[in-house]
Structure 1
């Protein structure tokens, strides 16, 4: 049984494009590499053939993983999101109560997380700690260095 994951339209398109790339371009390349290695003679001592077969196995595993993710993927209707509490796709401005530092994150599915662009997974410690909170709430979040208290300053939609 596949796990349900929620994606934005952009994230879902990215997942589908990656799967299409692997199936339509990378898979034929892997087959050609195996055929070329097979043509070079004795397979029992052909390291190139073994490497090509191993690469094909890894590719097929990646394709299967993407297909499983797509099977459980659900598109989030952003217009139906409740802005009174933190949910997936919420843009949340938080303040670290210990040092006063403010930061803004967008909570996204695992496959869309990118800390450099301010997107954190809803399954990350901070993401889990913020879910369901409202403006003014303080989320005590367990991180590797201990517990950090974040005050929810603002919730919006991307």
Structure 2
């Protein structure tokens, strides 16, 4: 079984969603199925079929979350020594060498990635190019749009 890196915040978010599904959504759906059954003929009962479909989605998501959490290797970057290197969980400030545009990313697990929120997956081309580098290094990122050069401005263990 392979382990998947995940931040402390990412694990907490998944555990919260799992708890909500088990304690709120699952009972609500079971109640909806019970009410729909009381209406009689199940073959032509749209409410019953809709509730059963919701139940399928809910149970599938619960299994998916349980699987992800069982394979998760939670890494708390605050507990690691600050070597100045880019590693999983750090926040990196980059400067585009051509445009001087500054960007800031936190390297997180695949399930946590959200580019709009400044979180990139550890498996993304940018993160793969940055891992192991230090402040001041220039890295070439091979992205789908071509190669881009970035200078690492700052590495933060937040």
- TM-score w.r.t. structure 2 length? 0.88
Partner of 1:11: 10
Partner of 2:94: 94
Distance 2:155 2:124 in 1: 18
Distance 2:81 2:54 in 1: 42
SS at match of 2:83: coil
SS at match of 1:27: helix
Partner of 1:62: 61
Instruction: Tell me how far 1:134 sits from its aligned partner.
Output: 2.2
CA deviation map 1:86-109 (0-9, x unaligned): 111111111111211112211111
Partner of 2:133: 133
Which sections of structure 1, spanning at least 5 residues, go unmatched? none
CA deviation map 1:50-94 (0-9, x unaligned): 111111001111001100111011221422245332111111111
Which sections of structure 2, spanning at least 5 residues, go unmatched? none
Q: Where do residues 63-78 of structure 1 align in structure 2 (5 Å cutoff)?
A: 63-78=62-77
Question: For this pair of structures, how many residues does the alignment match?
Answer: 157
Conservation of the 8 A alpha-carbon contact between 1:85 and 1:134: yes
CA deviation map 1:94-132 (0-9, x unaligned): 111121111221111123333333222212222222222
Following TM superposition, the consecutive aligned residue runs of length 4 or more in structure 1 with deviations greater than 6 angstroms are: none
- Which range is displaced more, 18-27 or 38-47? 38-47
Partner of 1:46: 45
